[in-house]
Amino acid sequence: MRYRQSNSVDWKKFEQESVLLDLSSGYYFRLNAVGTYIWSLLDGKHNLAEIVEEVVKRFEVSQRQAKKDISSFIQYLLDENLIEKG
């Protein structure tokens, strides 16, 4: 399964973090450095396994922990309509 950022979301990087702005609701979300990196991979080209692999390479985290955290992060983004499947 691949995911891509929703068209109604604008984002801006600030230092190591980023701001996501949901233009349909006006809510904004603040992502930390790891979240920002994952967000940049939600481009419709990477699947979950590939994202996990990239995160494990870049940050000090086990594959198992990364998969668990990234899955719940992606589910949160889906629930908030910040990303779409496909």
Partner 1 sequence: MRDFTAKLLTLCRIISGVDGEKCSIAGETETPTDLLIEQLQYHQLIPLVYYYRQQLQAAGWDFDQSTIELLRSHTFSNISRIMIVEHFLQHLDGLFKANAVEYRIFKGIVTAKSVYQEDYLRSFGDLDILVRADQLQAIESLLQQEGFTHAEDLYSHFPDEIIQKYSFAQHFNRVEPYNVSLDVHLNLSGRLHPFQFDSAEFWDNQTSIAINGSTILTFNREYQAIYAIYHAFKHYFFKLIWLIDAFLLLDQKQLDPEKFQQLIKKYKLTKLLIFYSQITLDLFGRLPVAIQQIQISSQRPHRIINAQTVLQGALPYSQSRARILLPMYYLRGWIARLRFLWTQLFPPIETIRNFYLQDGPQKKFWNYFNLRCRAITDLILNKPQEE
Residues that bind partner 1 (CB under 8 A): 10, 12, 14, 17, 19, 21, 23-26, 28, 30
Q: Rounded to the nearest whole angstrom, what is the least distance from the CB of residue 36 to partner 1 in the complex?
A: 12
12 or 64: whose CB is closer to partner 1? Answer: 12
10 or 43: whose CB is closer to partner 1? Answer: 10
Q: Rounded to the nearest whole angstrom, what is the least distance from the CB of residue 65 to partner 1 in the complex?
A: 25
C-beta separation of 58 from 52 below 8 A: no
82 secondary structure, DSSP code: S
28 or 68: whose CB is closer to partner 1? Answer: 28
Give the helix, strand, coil percentages of the chain, each rounded to 5.
Answer: 45, 35, 25
- Only one residue has tokens 């949901």, namely 22
Q: Rounded to the nearest whole angstrom, what is the least distance from the CB of residue 22 to partner 1 in the complex?
A: 9
* CA 39/CA 20 separation, integer angstroms: 10
